[in-house]
Amino acid sequence: MALPHDVKSMTLAKEGQTRIEWARQFMPVVQSVEERFRRQKPLKGVRIAACLHVTTETANLARALKAGGADVRLCASNPLSTQDDVAAALVKVYGISVFAVRGEDRKSYYSHIRSALGHRPQITMDDGADLVSELHKDKNGASARILGGTEETTTGVIRLRSMADKGVLRFPVISVNDADTKHLFDNRYGTGQSTLDGIIRATNTLLAGQTVVVCGYGWCGRGVAERARGMGAHVTVIEVDPLRALQAVMDGFRVEPLARAAAVGDIFVTLTGDISVLRKEHFLKMKDGAIVANSGHFNVEIDIPDLRKLSRSVRTLRTNVQEYALKNGRRIMLLAEGRLVNLAAAEGHPAMVMDMSFANQALAAEYLSKNGRKLKCQVYPVPRQIDEYISRLKLKTMGVNIDRLTEKQRQYLASWEMGT
Ligand code: ADE
């Protein structure tokens, strides 16, 4: 039977295959999981619906799951992040069902999610919780057969915790995002680098000497702030959480209210997970030519309807750059329609860091296939042994050796009697 799919064009498959293989060499942990999966088939016959960014890195995760015996269907977790050549290669070369077309409208985006769910999955894999959210709208008991789900990102985990708190979550979900080998690396170094990559590819701007305003100082915001400073920018951090704001101050960043920073910033990046962070009152203060970009999961952080209302015209100046000419005579450059700039204007996080995130995904799926039925309808952390396994293996593949505690040191840490 032909593999169900909806991708842009199968003619792109060869190019996609070459790029997927390129990424694979930087994903040794996923490769190692894949090799064991191929031998042991821990996911034999398990139907997995995955709603992830369709990139070269995700393709290598899908291959590992398939090697483990899973029957995988993939749809996009963002309308603008799909790499069409990768989608084609997954279908044509690797035999994986994909529903994703870059630039798809809202209707196709949700219809693709429903196609992935049409597969009657036993495990869901989400990046932003749209798959789980759609599944919960099904009144025909579709969630009853679900062993569990995994969630990749902070925004998704927040949504799922809210579902669990309200008692509406109908199956257990593992928060991959909260694994140390995920957020301490992917969110910080991955988002840090790929966000600047997206801004630079879109605009070819110079960061040195510019004022970059980073809204949100979670792990992603920290990454962007650190990397922007590393490239010579003056960085201002905007926070609402006093603890995080204090950390930003002691990390050496200027911290101030957005109402003040709006007038001095050259480049604004939102990574808060919340809505209308940059809005009318800020746009009105911005300098002529200010660049605004979002690297948070959803396109709600920059209030685009506000921007539209303030403007007398909008035109596309370059790929991923729209110039909003305000009625006050100034111009604001919106990147990637306010969608994740790192995935829409660049290629997302490099494979080297996604290696750890996706090893977590694959191992969490294996864990759910064994233990899902025993878990409650809650959000669970990734088991600590998985985190430790991934960090050890990653170090090994990087050629880094570390010391072990001596017996005397181990005993000292375990005792409370011994002091100085
Ligand atoms: N999220 C951020 N970067 C990514 C990538 N390269 N692939 C899949 N998901 C991502």
69: domain CATH number is 3.40.50.1480
Give the contacts of 328 (CB within 8 A, at least 6 positions apart): 284, 310
Task: Give yes or no for residue 419 having a pLDDT over 90.
Answer: no
Whether 349 is in the pocket of ligand 1, judged by its Cβ within 6 Å, is yes
Give the contacts of 315 (CB within 8 A, at least 6 positions apart): 322, 323, 325
* pLDDT score of 2: 84
Instruction: State which ligand 1 atom lies nearest to the alpha carbon of 191.
Output: 2
Average pLDDT of the chain, as a whole number: 97
The answer to whether residue 57 is domain-embedded is yes
CATH code of the domain containing 236? 3.40.50.720
The answer to whether residue 259 is domain-embedded is yes
Specify whether 315 is located in the same domain as 171.
no
* pLDDT score of 350: 98
The answer to whether residue 322 is domain-embedded is yes
* pLDDT score of 143: 85
Task: Give yes or no for residue 234 having a pLDDT over 80.
Answer: yes
* pLDDT score of 156: 96
In whole angstroms, give the CA distance from residue 358 to residue 308.
38
Mean pLDDT over 76-102 rounds to: 97
Give the contacts of 17 (CB within 8 A, at least 6 positions apart): 89, 93
Specify whether 211 is located in the same domain as 267.
yes
* pLDDT score of 141: 78
Which of 19, 24, 56, 57 maximizes ligand 1 atoms within 8 Å of its Cβ, making it the mutation to test the pocket?
57
Sheet containing strand 331-335, edge to edge, reads 254-255, 234-238, 211-215, 267-270, 290-294, 331-335, 321-326, 311-318
Specify whether 140 is located in the same domain as 202.
no
Mean pLDDT over 390-410 rounds to: 97
- Give the residue from 340, 15, 372, 397 showing the smallest Cα distance to 190: 340
Which of 24, 27, 53 maximizes ligand 1 atoms within 8 Å of its Cβ, making it the mutation to test the pocket?
53
Residues 365, 48: contact at Cβ < 8 Å? Answer: yes
How far is residue 169 CA from its own chain's centroid? 22
Specify whether 16 is located in the same domain as 153.
yes
Whether 266 is in the pocket of ligand 1, judged by its Cβ within 6 Å, is no
* pLDDT score of 193: 98
The answer to whether residue 418 is domain-embedded is no
In whole angstroms, give the CA distance from residue 71 to residue 52.
16
DSSP state of 382: P
In whole angstroms, give the CA distance from residue 215 to residue 241.
12
Mean pLDDT over 207-211 rounds to: 98
Specify whether 240 is located in the same domain as 303.
yes
**Domain range spanning residue 84?**
10-182+349-397
* pLDDT score of 208: 98
Specify whether 219 is located in the same domain as 155.
no
Read off the pLDDT band of 366 (50, 70, 90).
very high
* Strands 211-215, 123-126: pairing kind: unpaired
Specify whether 376 is located in the same domain as 329.
no
Specify whether 163 is located in the same domain as 34.
yes
Say how many domains are in the chain.
Answer: 2
The answer to whether residue 5 is domain-embedded is no
* Strands 234-238, 47-52: pairing kind: unpaired
Mean pLDDT over 19-36 rounds to: 98
Specify whether 325 is located in the same domain as 357.
no
* pLDDT score of 418: 84
Amino acid at 386: I
Mean pLDDT over 137-159 rounds to: 91
Task: Give yes or no for residue 340 having a pLDDT over 90.
Answer: yes
Mean pLDDT over 376-390 rounds to: 97
Read off the pLDDT band of 139 (50, 70, 90).
confident
Q: Please name the helix (run of DSSP H) or strand (run of DSSP E) that holds residue 87, with its range, or none.
A: helix 84-92
Which of 19, 51, 54, 55 maximizes ligand 1 atoms within 8 Å of its Cβ, making it the mutation to test the pocket?
55
Whole-number Å distance, alpha carbon 167 to ligand 1 midpoint, is 30
* pLDDT score of 229: 98
Specify whether 340 is located in the same domain as 353.
no
| Percent of the chain residues topping a pLDDT of 70 | 100
* pLDDT score of 159: 95
Residues 176, 357: contact at Cβ < 8 Å? Answer: yes
The answer to whether residue 412 is domain-embedded is no
Whether 152 is in the pocket of ligand 1, judged by its Cβ within 6 Å, is no
Amino acid at 383: P
In whole angstroms, give the CA distance from residue 383 to residue 373.
16
- Dig out the tokens for 342 from the structure: 């790192």
The answer to whether residue 114 is domain-embedded is yes
Specify whether 27 is located in the same domain as 162.
yes
Show the CA angle centred on residue 204, arms to residues 198 and 210, nearest 5°.
90
Give the contacts of 322 (CB within 8 A, at least 6 positions apart): 314, 315, 316, 333, 334, 335, 337
Specify whether 113 is located in the same domain as 256.
no
pTM as predicted: 0.96
- How many alpha carbons lie under 13 Å from residue 92 in its C-beta half-sphere? 18
- Dig out the tokens for 378 from the structure: 């809650």
- Dig out the tokens for 340 from the structure: 């994740």
* pLDDT score of 277: 98
* pLDDT score of 1: 63
| Percent of the chain residues topping a pLDDT of 90 | 96
The answer to whether residue 252 is domain-embedded is yes
Three-state SS at 125: strand
